Amino acid sequence: MGTNVILDIIGSIIIAGILMLSIFRVNNSSTEDLYKGTGNLVAQTNLATVVQILETDFRRIGYCADWKKIPVPTEAILNADSAGIRYLTDVDKDGNVDTMYYYFDPLTDIPGTPNPRDRFLYRVVNGETPVGVNLGVTQFSLEYFNALGSKLSFPISDPREIFTMQIDITVEDVAAYDEKYQTIFWRQIRMAARNLFNR
Amino acid sequence: MGKLSLYLVLGFGILYMIMGNKSNKISILTNENMVDYNAKTMVHSIAVSATNLACNEIFLNGAWDEGFVNVPFNGGYVNANVQVLDPFRNIRKLTTSGNYGGLNKTIEVIFQPSNFSKFAYLSISDPTNLYWSNNDTIWGPFHSQGNINAYRHPVFKGKVTTKGYVNFYENEILDAPRFCGGFESGVSLTFPAASLDILKSLANSNGHLFSGKDTVYLTFRMDSINFKYEYSANETSVLASYFAPNGVIFADNSVILLKGTVKGQYTIGCSGTLPKGNIYLDDNITYNTDPTVDPESKDLLGIVSKNNVLITNNEANQSSIDIHASIYCEQGGFGAGWQEFTEPNGNINLLGGIQNYCQVQIGIIQGTQILGFNRRYNYDERLMIDSPPGYPSTGQLEIVSWCE
């Protein structure tokens, strides 16, 4: 066993080490990318779900299959603030007036998820016990505008003045690789509920 | 050593192919998600556009029921179908659908004939110096055929429409009105010329038509109606539901003097050229069941005149008057119109609405004192969905329900 052999072995170990480190790094990076991609997909899917539910519900503010049950549509919004809105609608189109209440709890973290920022966005129909579904919503805010397009300041003294609203939502994945959460933001600039100003 | 390297490269190659494949799938799913949301947004926009197009056809021609089938629109197709739900009341349902990228979206809109009685206030010709101020709160739908002059944020609780525009006393910041029921400009709404003829015809067919009488004294006494043609004559009393089964009572080329307590639903009409075609309110004209006390009240009154609806200058009206009715004056207005006001006369306590061509004086300001009447107008919200029998229609259909 000469000096050359020893040098060959040491060289091989160093090269193998470098190779292994590279492989681990590539593997790590691939795994992170995969997690990011998956997280992004989950957050995006959650956002699309939330948005579609919100759009469908908000477009029905003041709607009732038996329209005579909401004779003054402008009175359909009962109260509104930046984190929630309560209004009259007809959820299942059965001709009965329902009360829908959307609100966001910005303070309470959802237990059991690694993401410290995700919160429940509640959808309460007719005063049922609120049940939260975790879709990774980290921000939900509403702004309201009057018929002349001016922004209404909070607190809104007369919800009848609401003509259009702006909805902002941010969704993150509930768990992420190395706490690098994927963030997706969505804004509906001027959402108008058609029934509010029918007559 | 060479074999081992080959296995190593192959192994990692396969591993990364699997991971790459999964990564690609995620990318594809993300794109699909976005494309799916985009398609849903597109199909919704197409359906709303189709609905607006169909609504426009209906507004131009209320009898339009042709619809359209598979019309190409913005990369998709639109359909519209009009169904008459209630031929007697002309309630119509428009169903439109948009198709895009294999998705379908349906919108249902219900229309009913629009009636003037729904307006809390409608004026064709307001004085140009009439300003709605911060002391004014108007409940119910409002229309002005001119401009709306605003001074220091007047409040309109119902939907406001105007043919003109909002004219601020100084500027928008200081004077912008608060529109609580929406606002639309460029809306023209005039009184149809044949409204009173239709009412007369209804009275003649199954109501009661007075003709050839200069003056008709009409007093509602709940289930009965008393009438006479001269001040000193004896009244004839009849059962109201027998006297005018369809609820329409009309005096042709005459003057009506009206008062009493209304039980049921009636419309009183009067035509003629001035000084005829006026309806005078001799005393309170109120509902038997006050809807502000009992919202289930079915009592409803329409007062329709060719010219004016005026408060009679008599002893009964010297210290306020209560009026429960929707009032329509085709060529004139509602008010007192007295030659002189010598003292404060209390309030005009109106529960209903006013649709008139112009305003009629109700008092004067003398120094710091108001001589004459004060306005205490409240909107009867039942008029949003109901109207007195035969009350003039705008001739157009209005949207009462929109379901997406």
Band of pLDDT at residue B222, cut at 50, 70 and 90 = very high
Identify the pLDDT of residue B53: 93
Nearest to A199 among B12, B22, B118 (CB): B118
pLDDT confidence of residue B276: 92
Q: Which of A51, A67, A150 sits opposite B400 (nearest CB)?
A: A67
Q: For position A31, what pLDDT does the model report? A: 81
Task: Report residue B78: phi and psi, to 5°.
Answer: -125, 150
The range of the structural domain enclosing residue A129 comes to 39-197
Length, in residues, of chain B = 404
The answer as to whether A142 is a domain residue is: yes
What integer pLDDT is reported at residue B46 of this predicted model? 93
Which pLDDT belongs to residue A1? 62
Question: Which of the four pLDDT bands, split at 50, 70 and 90, describes residue B240?
Answer: very high
Tens digit of pLDDT at every position of chain A (199 positions): 678 888 888 888 898 888 888 888 888 887 888 788 888 888 888 888 888 888 889 999 999 998 888 888 888 999 999 999 999 999 988 999 999 999 998 888 887 888 888 888 899 999 888 877 778 889 999 999 988 888 999 898 888 888 899 999 999 888 877 788 888 899 988 888 888 877 7
Asked whether residue A138 is assigned to any structural domain, the reply reads yes
The pLDDT tens digits of the residues spanning B100-139 come to: 988 999 999 999 888 999 999 999 987 777 788 877 788 8
Give domain status of residue A1, yes or no. Answer: no
Domain ranges of chain B: 22-112, 191-396
Among A51, A52, A71, select the one facing B385 at the smallest CB separation.
A71
- pLDDT given for residue B116 in this prediction: 93
**Structural domain contains residue A16:** no
Residues in contact with A144: Cβ distance below 8 Å, sequence separation at least 6, in sequence order: A80, A151, A152, A156, A161, A162, A164, A165, A166
Q: Is the pLDDT of residue B310 over 70?
A: yes
pLDDT reading at B262 higher than 60: yes
Among candidates B19, B158, B385 on the partner chain, residue whose Cβ is nearest the Cβ of A34? B19
Please report whether residue A13 resides in a domain: no
Q: In this complex, do B179 and A161 lie within 8 Å of one another by their Cβ atoms?
A: yes
pTM of the model: 0.80
Mean pLDDT of B257-269: 95
Confidence of residue B258 (pLDDT cuts 50, 70, 90): very high
Task: Please provide the average confidence, as pLDDT, over all residues in chain B.
Answer: 89
Tell whether A51 lies on the interface with B, counting CB pairs under 8 A.
yes
- pLDDT in the model for residue B324: 95
Range with the lowest mean pLDDT among B11-25, B187-201, B207-221, B290-304? B11-25
A189 close to B (CB below 8 A): no
Number of domains forming the structure of chain A: 1
If pLDDT is split at 50, 70 and 90, which confidence band does B2 have? low
With cut-offs at 50, 70 and 90, classify the pLDDT of residue B226.
very high
Q: Which residues of A touch B23 (CB under 8 A)?
A: 30, 33-34, 37
> What integer pLDDT is reported at residue B206 of this predicted model?
92
> What's residue B4's pLDDT?
75
For chain B, what percent of residues have pLDDT higher than 70? Answer: 100
* Three-state secondary structure of chain B: CHHHHHHHHHHHHHHHHHHHHHHHHHHHHHHHHHHHHHHHHHHHHHHHHHHHHHHHHHHHCCCCCCCEEEEEECCEEEEEEEEEEECCCCEEEEEEEEEECCEEEEEEEEEEEEEHHHCCEEECCCCCCCCEECCCEECCCEEECCCEEEECCCEECCCEEECCCEEECCCHHHHCCEECCCEEECCCCCCCCCHHHHHHHHHHHHCEEECCCCEEEEEEEECEEEEECCCCCCCEEEEHHHHCCCCEEEECCCEEEEEEEECCEEEEEECCCCCCCCEEEEEEEEECCCCCCCCCCCCEEEEEECCCEEECCCHHHCCCEEEEEEEEECCCCEECCCCCCCCEEEEEEEEEEEEECCCCCCEEEECCEEEEEEEEEEECHHHHCCCCCCCCEEEEEEEEEEEC
pLDDT at B254: 94
B-facing residues of A in 58-77 (CB < 8 A) are 59-60, 63-65, 67-68, 71-72, 74
Strand, coil or helix: what is A32? Answer: helix
